[in-house]
Structure 1
Amino acid sequence: MSEHPGPLMARTAVAVFRLNGQFLRVADDLAGPAGLTAAWWQVLGAVLDEPLPVAGIARSMGITRQSVQRIADLLVERGLAEYRPNPAHSRAKLLAPTLDGIAAVERVVPAQRVFAERLADRLGPEELRNALAAVERLSDALEALDAE
């Protein structure tokens, strides 16, 4: 007889929470020498390609708008990001990295690549791809259930 989905879901949630904590510790270690925290790096990373409103960043990261707002305000205060007018919505300004913010993220990249290679060596590239696919499927399924 197969295991009931309730305990499986609980074990999966605990494993994902643990994994999130592990990723945050690694991200803090990688970002620290560049003068960033994991959260600052994450928010700056979300706007590297294009400026976004705080609500859009929060949606893409799966966290609250208020959490992103606090981080965005700190990034602006420290000169790592700036608010720009949003032609689509006058009150929801766009967050964009400054040159200093881009430079800070770029200082993280070499260490991040080294760590990624170490992780891939430990798991093997195929297992790493499988883990990514499983996490993406789980996230998509949760998103679909949330939309129902």
Structure 2
Amino acid sequence: MRKTARTPAGEYLTGIIMDLFRLNGGLLTSGDRLVAGLGLTSARWQMLGAIASAQQPQPVAWIARDLGANRQNVQRIVNDLAQDGLVRFEANPHHRRAQLVVLTDDGRQAFNAAMKLQGPWVNRLSDGLTVKEIEAAHRVIMTLQANLEGMAQTDDVD
């Protein structure tokens, strides 16, 4: 099997990708601890946030697309949230089977409570970083995301 040589940028990015995997794990663990007292996990909090920030109620497939997540995983979490009374399903006038997901009052309260905890947490997390550094990191992340989406559309990963 022949190994394809990496460009200098590809070589450095490989290390950063490993760091991002570790960062993601740390963020999830820290988020779980942050919202545990509210009966939430990072995954449930993320789902409530996606639903709360949508311009209008959306079906699970759209939520999954917006999160870049697997529809089946999103469906499982949404079902759990519905069972706990944090979201409910409503009829979708555009699609008979793809119901819309809507926050309940309890769901909105849980999300708002999580966001109150998030403020001090994210401020502490950003210690030592300038807004310019964070903006630069954001630009890099968004470029990588756009490149991934472009590769997925063309199935070109070589």
Alignment-derived partner of residue 3 in structure 1: 8
Mapping for residues 115-126 of structure 1, pairs under 5 Å: 115-126=121-132
Alignment-derived partner of residue 40 in structure 2: 36
C-alpha deviation, 1:92, in angstroms: 0.5
Q: What secondary structure is seen at the aligned counterpart in 2 of 1:122?
A: coil
Q: How many residue pairs get matched?
A: 146
C-alpha deviation, 1:23, in angstroms: 1.6
Amino acid at match of 1:38: S
- Considering only CA atoms, is the larger Rg found in Structure 1 or Structure 2? 2
Map Cα deviations across residues 87-146 of structure 1 (whole Å, 9 max, x no partner).
111111111110000000111112211112112332222212222221111111111111
Between 1:101-110 and 1:27-36, the stretch displaced more is 27-36
Q: Structure 2: any 5+ residue segments left out of the alignment? A: 1-6
Q: What secondary structure is seen at the aligned counterpart in 1 of 2:52?
A: coil
Alignment-derived partner of residue 89 in structure 2: 83
Q: Structure 1: any 5+ residue segments left out of the alignment? A: none
Alignment-derived partner of residue 110 in structure 1: 116
Verify: 1:46 aligned to 2:11, yes or no.
no
C-alpha deviation, 1:8, in angstroms: 3.7
Partner Cα separation in structure 1 for residue 137 and residue 112 of structure 2:
26
Q: What secondary structure is seen at the aligned counterpart in 1 of 2:102?
A: strand
Mapping for residues 127-146 of structure 1, pairs under 5 Å: 127-146=133-152
Between 1:98-107 and 1:108-117, the stretch displaced more is 108-117
Amino acid at match of 1:52: Q
Between 1:8-17 and 1:54-63, the stretch displaced more is 8-17
Amino acid at match of 1:32: A
1:34/1:105 contact within 8 Å kept: no
- Pair 1:90–1:146, CA change in 2 (3 A): same
TM-score normalised to structure 1 length: 0.90
